[in-house]
Structure formats: structure tokens, C-alpha cells
């Protein structure tokens, strides 16, 4: 269920942006999740569906962002942040259900 929740969230965010996975330049996995996740295993089970070279662990991004803000000189340029409630998305349940299965071994 956790795999399905992450995979469906990834797909719904792409859909919301009007993008496709093949258009991505990089995927950063933050925090302990990203640091300790075995990327090859995540790709094999369909957790994320992008080419391996695009996936990078990015460590403690919250701490890094706080340091950057505290050490900034002048008025920092902050991006607009939007909270997206994936569970409230009308397509979430269907996408979640479709992500419940695991790909066949060997990608067949």
C-alpha cells in the first residue's frame, strides 16, 4: 500500500503539472527516505517510473533550505509553495488501485 501511495502521488503530481515522466530532467528523493532507499529496487517495483540516471538522493533538504535562508545576504527569493492534497484528487483512488500491483520480474 505504501508503494501504491507513493507511485500514485508521483503520477498525480505529474498529471497536475501537465507533464510526463519522460520530460523530467531529474528526480530528487529527499530525507532519510532518499538516502536509504535502494534506487534500483524502487525502480524495479514501480515505486517511481523514470530512467535510473535521473534519480538522485538529496539528503536533508529541509535543513539545507533552512541554512540557505539563514545565511542569505539581502532579501531571499522564495518560491511560491502550494500544498497539494493528493487524497482529495478525484483520480486518486483509481490511480492508487492501479499502482497496487508490482511489475512482472524482468519487466515483461
DSSP 57-74: EEE-HHHHHHHHHHH--S
Query: Grid coordinates in use for 49?
Result: 517510473
Q: How confident is the model at residue 93 (pLDDT cuts 50, 70, 90)?
A: very high
Summarised one tens digit per residue, pLDDT across range 15-29 is 999 999 989 999 999
Report field, pTM of the whole predicted structure over 0.95 = no
HSE value, Cβ hemisphere, 13 Å, CA-based, for 32: 0
Query: Most distant CA pair in the chain: distance in Å?
Result: 54
Amino acid at each position: 500500500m505504501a508503494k501504491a501511495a507513493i507511485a500514485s502521488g508521483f503520477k498525480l503530481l505529474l498529471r497536475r503539472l501537465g507533464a510526463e515522466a519522460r520530460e523530467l530532467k531529474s528526480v530528487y528523493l529527499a530525507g532519510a527516505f532518499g538516502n536509504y532507499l535502494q534506487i534500483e529496487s524502487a525502480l524495479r517495483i514501480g515505486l517511481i517510473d523514470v530512467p535510473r540516471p535521473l534519480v538522485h538522493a538529496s539528503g536533508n533538504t529541509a535543513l539545507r533550505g533552512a541554512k540557505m535562508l539563514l545565511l542569505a545576504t539581502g532579501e531571499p527569493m522564495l518560491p511560491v509553495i502550494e500544498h497539494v492534497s493528493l487524497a482529495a484528487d478525484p483520480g486518486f483512488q483509481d490511480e492508487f488501485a492501479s499502482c497496487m500491483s508490482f511489475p512482472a520480474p524482468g519487466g515483461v
